[in-house]
Amino acid sequence: MTLSSITKGYKKKWLICYVLSILCTFGPVIGFGIYALAVSDTNTRLALTMMSLLSMGIAIVNILFKYSFRTSVYLMVLALSFALKEMTVALVIVTVCTGLDEFVFEPLTKSFKNKYTINKEIDRREP
């Protein structure tokens, strides 16, 4: 079965929106986490590492049960508040990225995936 150009376009748009959604969810937290580990002392690094491990555990549970990753992201923001003195910039960036993900990328991802699935079925029916 060969995919039509319309189906390939929807697949490409779906993958791009999916990658941007994941980047908006995890990118700021990972970036600020690396920065926090670089500028913090030993006790703060230990607390940040423990909260990161807890956040990863919650993320694994979210993957298994297909829930949202926002709980683990905001747990990491709490962990970053231990290490960073000024949290305003981090909170604004995480909030903007969460808003973009929730109101732009996630609906577009669902829409493009739905259109890709429909067009794939249409391509399968055509000779």
Q: 36-51 pLDDT, tens per residue?
A: 888 888 888 888 888 8
Range of the domain at 33: 8-119
Residue 32 lies in a domain: yes
Kindly report the pTM of this predicted structure.
Answer: 0.79
Residue 29 lies in a domain: yes
Query: Nearest-5° angle of CA 103, CA 83, CA 38?
Result: 100
Residue 125 lies in a domain: no
Residue 45 lies in a domain: yes
Residue 3 lies in a domain: no
- Whole-angstrom Cα distance, residue 100 to residue 104? 5
Question: How do residues 49-78 score in pLDDT, each as one tens digit?
Answer: 888 888 888 878 777 776 667 777 777 888
Residue 19 lies in a domain: yes
**Number of compact structural domains in the chain:** 1
